[in-house]
Amino acid sequence: MNFEKLYIDGQWVDGASGKFIDVENPATRQIFARVPAGNGEDVDKAAKAAHAALPEWSALPLSVRINLMEKFLSIFKSQEDELIDITIKELGSPWAFTKSSQVEYQYVRTRSYIDLAPDVPMVEKMPLSTTYREPVGVVGCITPWNYPLGQVIQKIIPAMLMGNTVILKPSQHTPLSSYYLADAFEKAGFPKGVFNLVTGRGGEVGNALSSHPLVDMISFTGSTSGGITVGKNALESVKHISLELGGKSPYVILPSESHDYTEPIHLCFNSIFLNSGQTCTAFSRLIIPAGEKETIEKQLVEIAKEYTVGDPTDHAVKLGPVSSMQQFRKISEYIQKGMDEGAHLLIGGLPESPDHGYYIHPTIFTDVKNSMSIAQDEIFGPVLCVITYKDEKEALAIANDTRYGLNAGVYGSKDKAIALAKRIQAGNVYINSSPRDTAAPFGGYKESGLGREGGIYGMIEFTQQKALFDTGK
């Protein structure tokens, strides 16, 4: 795969700047690839290509777009070994997690969109009118580094199925897996200009996308501060905006008569520790009954031993490195801050030198007050804050005492768990061991974003409504 080109208007082309951005393996700190440092000129070419392709693409019957997407999915599946390998190299995500969550789950997501597309209500009859849904137009998709395939699939597949054309700007830190997607779209026979790939820095390519007059919508996933910047740029030309932003998700454990908290602890650990905590929905605040504190802490220490850290190519390792030196420093600073704020370090702590990779071991703080910065700020690393509550009223108050509202979880008696979950201010709440549903909408309350991804609601996000008042003579 040649990573030194951009994919614009159905062609692999050189970047206008002639400059490149290095891609580092966070497990070895070796530079192993580079991609073009795209700029406004590249975005302009891509926007013109996407705009030119839009009328014909949007006019195609949905069945034709679905058939093309079926071909894409078949090719996408055939790339599995290569996608696992490149994701491990560019992100440091361990083999087992990469295979199941970073790669294979994206086939499930793609299949879900294909299967649900015919059910999107594109025409609705009203008492005195008919409402039609149409494509928004040219969609600029700006995606983060932590799920380099997943965050892309969540945007480009529904957008294209709904008749939009797309310009993708993947993260400059993990852009390589997107090249395989571009290759698959090309081999599947998608018309030129329907999918375009422009790599580069957010401050240049992202800003150019969000302000370009031919781009009709921006779909952004990333930090809340980044989303605000993109949103402001996009609103200058009144674009449609979808923002999936940060989180500081609570996980509430209700008291158990058995005093066995093995399952909820595993569920919490899988959320906060796998992918080295670099997950926007991670359960980073564990809220436990004060009367069970000693029991739960002992189980936390014991179960944490299962979450091994090491070479991400080792099939037995559960945590690899964090993604970059920037991440390593940020997480380290928060660990130090937690100690300075008076939280008790149950396991983990400050990492060793990053000379041989950006490795940070699972870290758990107890005796955390929800007012502490480690409990309020999105650390985006394998750092868990344990907070106690006296009763369910206080548990709910702690859970909702955050500027975010992306995800949450409640574990306990199902009826009690559901009753509490309904009062938590979050777009998604997991009850006990319930799995994720690809047909469900995903998105947040408060500073966690605007709009929804996933399922029919995620597809509707890429449409706009037109009402025809058609009952007269």
Q: pLDDT (tens digit, 9 = 90+) per residue, 265-289?
A: 999 999 999 999 999 999 999 999 9
3-state secondary structure of 142: strand
Output the six-digit token pair for 277: 């905590």
Q: pLDDT (tens digit, 9 = 90+) per residue, 412-428?
A: 999 999 999 999 999 99
244 part of the active site: yes
Give, for all 473 residues of the chain, the pLDDT tens digit. 999 999 999 999 999 999 999 999 999 999 999 999 999 999 999 999 999 999 999 999 999 999 999 999 999 999 999 999 999 999 999 999 999 999 999 999 999 999 999 999 999 999 999 999 999 999 999 999 999 999 999 999 999 999 999 999 999 999 999 999 999 999 999 999 999 999 999 999 999 999 999 999 999 999 999 999 999 999 999 999 999 999 999 999 999 999 999 999 999 999 999 999 999 999 999 999 999 999 999 999 999 999 999 999 999 999 999 999 999 999 999 999 999 999 999 999 999 999 999 999 999 999 999 999 999 999 999 999 999 999 999 999 999 999 999 999 999 999 999 999 999 999 999 999 999 999 999 999 999 999 999 999 999 999 999 999 987 76
Catalytic residue among 24, 244, 378, 453: 244
φ and ψ of 355, to 5 deg: -55, -35
The whole model's pTM is what?
0.96
Alpha-helical segments (H) within 325-461? 325-340, 373-376, 392-400, 414-421, 455-460
Q: Is 141 one of the annotated active-site residues of the chain?
A: no
Closest residue by Cα to residue 182 from 66, 76, 35: 76
If phi > 0 it is left, if psi is from -120 to 50 it is alpha, else beta; for residue 301 that is alpha
Closest CA to 110 of 154, 148, 172, 78: 154
> For tokens 């992100």, what's the residue?
91
Q: How many CA atoms lie within 13 A of 237 on its CB side?
A: 16
CB 296 within 8 A of CB 262: no
Catalytic residue among 141, 268, 280, 385: 280
Q: How far apart are CA 318 and CA 149, in angstroms?
A: 19
State the amino acid at position 286 in one-letter form. Answer: L
Residue matched to tokens 């009952």: 471
Transcribe 102-149 into DSSP letters: IIIHHHHHHHHHHHHGGGS--EEE-SS-EEEEEE--EEEEE--SSSTT
Domains and CATH numbers, the chain: 6-245+448-468 (3.40.605.10), 249-438 (3.40.309.10)
